[in-house]
Amino acid sequence: MPYFYSTDRKRSLQVGQQVDLIKDYSPQLPSGQSFFPNSDLKVHLNELFPEGLSFHGFQYLLNSNYLPQPPYHEHFYYKSPIIDLVFELVRKTSFPDKPSRFQSMFAWDSLDRAKNFRLEYNLPDAPIFKIHADTVFCADMQLLRLGNLGVTASFMADKYWKGEATEKPDWEYLLKLPVQVVEQVA
């Protein structure tokens, strides 16, 4: 049984916990939308993800604080929920057998890599847990970018879901929920 290591940025994991999909979107839905009622958003989310969302899915689909702010000066955008949305649409269209980023937990294949991630993202006190899931997909995080052309975004997503690598890959593991938290290791 393979184990993986996850850096608990939100400090919510506990040994023995099973991390499941969240199915109640109501508390997270934005209010005051001028074009449509919130009930329409809830119906749409249920159509897209009837099994529910992971915490990552909630953050990237329902939290406007994650949207990039202008001005944009880069050729590739690599910190945006729009990236995950584009990649999800490509996944649903061409790779439906792969686990959704919006329904997964992210992990590393070694404790050292999880520690490096913690340092890279300035999370010195974030605990690291050993975790397990039945369905795992490995992909190169370096491909999680949008170019300044629509075809570039599609190309990057296609390579990601095929499991292809860049010249200097940064492998991440998508663990489809439910995930079992085995032990705290750091």
- Domains of the chain: which residue ranges? 4-184
Helices (H), 37-182: 38-48, 55-62, 81-94, 111-120, 150-162
pLDDT at 41: 79
- Residue 99 per-residue DSSP state: P
Which range is least confidently modeled, 47-51, 76-80, 91-95? 76-80
Tens digit of pLDDT for each residue in 13-48?
999 999 999 988 666 666 655 577 777 878 888 899
Task: Name the 3-class secondary structure at 4.
Answer: strand
Give the chain's radius of gyration (CA, Å).
Answer: 17
As a whole number, mean pLDDT of residues 95-120 equals 96
